[in-house]
Amino acid sequence: MTKQQGGSCLCGTVRFRTKGALRGVVYCHCSQCRKQTGLYYAATDVDICNLTIDGEDSLAWYAASDFARRGFCRTCGSALFWKRNGADKISILAGAFDLPSGLIAESHIFVADKGDFYAIADELPQYARSSPDVVVAESAAQE
């Protein structure tokens, strides 16, 4: 997808706009994503230079590990972003985009750490940890 796309948190205090190409949606089943959202992350990513955030003063960041941080709305608690330290890209939760999003599912990562209360019932590629195209630290599944 290469058009401009926008979205927000649940209360609308934090809004964002992207331009340029977005990666396909990657579903992350690691314990951190599961504990933050109650299920798993579904996220795309974009070059940081192609992201504009309005209401940034209401955006809080939590350093969930020493390699990445998670951005959320401090008003409503919506999980919005995941950013690896030093990366030129930022992940954006797919559910935060306004519809129609035009996003397309790509793969599942950290399936070795997925919750025991659901099944992955699609034909997308599955990776025990990270995929070759998604750079995260191996320790994410243990934290």
Whole-angstrom distance, CA of residue 43 vs CA of residue 46: 10
pLDDT at 135: 64
Query: 128-142 pLDDT, tens per residue?
Result: 988 777 767 554 444
pLDDT at 131: 77
pLDDT at 141: 40
pLDDT at 66: 92
Whole-angstrom distance, CA of residue 100 vs CA of residue 122: 21
CATH second-level architecture of 5-128?
Beta Complex (2.170)
Strands 15-18 and 25-28: unpaired
Residue 4's pLDDT band (boundaries 50, 70, 90)? Answer: confident
Query: 58-117 pLDDT, tens per residue?
Result: 999 999 899 999 999 999 999 999 999 999 999 999 999 999 999 999 999 999 999 999
Whether pTM exceeds 0.75: yes
Query: 29-61 pLDDT, tens per residue?
Result: 999 999 999 999 999 999 999 999 999 999 999
**Distant-in-sequence, close-in-space partners of 130: CB < 8 Å, separation ≥ 6:** 109, 110, 136, 138, 140
Sequence ranges of the domains in the chain: 5-128
